[in-house]
Structure 1
């Protein structure tokens, strides 16, 4: 076996996800992952800190990418329009990850530990988006609210996309989720709400 395998990271990720789906995340060791991939523990450590990183590697780029896209959105766009534009921009770069995203989501659903890690990653994305919106001049409380809404739209769209990855792309799922939210909000008569 060569000392450096250019496909090692992918092989490790594929082996890990297969094992997680077969046996459950908690029942798989790093040694089993490396054995399935035909690689060493040293190779694993080169790419991943622990077995959770197999599922979340690269997710630290999401907050950075979302914030950058919000900052780069046209100045003439409203804060919400800039946010939606950024979500769709970032989503376009994830198109080739549909199959892995669906498998990853299936594994995460089975583990409270992984679900908590996922929530932490989404919280980091929310904070980054809120900061970017504030840099665009959005008021503090509005930036925080819009960031929460934007990440909720992204999460909903992502779940729909991974449930049916071949149906439509993630950017279309973001448009769909945003339209669903707008329709729901439009159906509320705010003047009739109780003022208690």
Structure 2
């Protein structure tokens, strides 16, 4: 009987990412992933539901993790400051995992319409969790929805910058950079609609 391999999940993920990068996501099968990893299909399905799940496994925790961080933020913070605090905390977790796999994964997702759609679905679930957290902090529903849209946009842009320029900068540094740029634009924006009464 084969012995349990503590690195099985990691080996499967590495094999899948290599194959997706070499051949394209659509042209790779589970059998090819398991063969490359030197493991069985049974082992694959112990960790992943399908070949797409290799790229998104664990992503269902992003929304609840971000929401919990927002709820833990200092009660004196404004709703938007609480969002930024949550993004920084989640960013620290991402930074610990390193950017190399994130860069590879991002390139694979960008190459596949199916995976791009899955990514949009993932962020919609994150947004729902964040709206709920803000409302629980006392933000009105409309304000919670607006700040969530801004927060998700900030997260995505910070993630893009973090993966575009791997180096000493933490994910949280990019969150601060993007939010500062947004604040600068809002300071110079005229809140009145041209031609309005």
TM tier, shorter chain?
A: over 0.9
Secondary structure at the counterpart of residue 131 of structure 1: helix
Give the Cα separation in 1 of the matches to 2:164 and 2:107: 10
Q: How many residue pairs end up in the alignment?
A: 196
The 5 Å alignment of 1:1-196 reads 2-95=2-95, 96-191=97-192, 193-195=194-196
RMSD of Structure 2 on Structure 1 (CA): 1.3
Secondary structure at the counterpart of residue 74 of structure 1: coil
Per-residue CA deviation, residues 149-182 of structure 1 (Å, 9 max, x unaligned), is 1011000000111111215110001111111111
Per-residue CA deviation, residues 23-79 of structure 1 (Å, 9 max, x unaligned), is 000000000000000000001000000001000001001001000001110000000
Give the Cα separation in 2 of the matches to 1:86 and 1:36: 38
Per-residue CA deviation, residues 96-150 of structure 1 (Å, 9 max, x unaligned), is 2311111000000000000000000001111100100000000000000001110
TM-score after normalising by structure 1: 0.97
Give the Cα separation in 1 of the matches to 2:63 and 2:195: 38
CA positional deviation for 1:185 = 1.5
CA positional deviation for 1:187 = 1.8
Secondary structure at the counterpart of residue 52 of structure 2: helix
CA shift in 2, pair 1:115/1:192, >3 Å: closer
CA positional deviation for 1:192 = 6.2
CA positional deviation for 1:194 = 3.1
Q: Which runs of 5+ in 2 are unaligned?
A: none
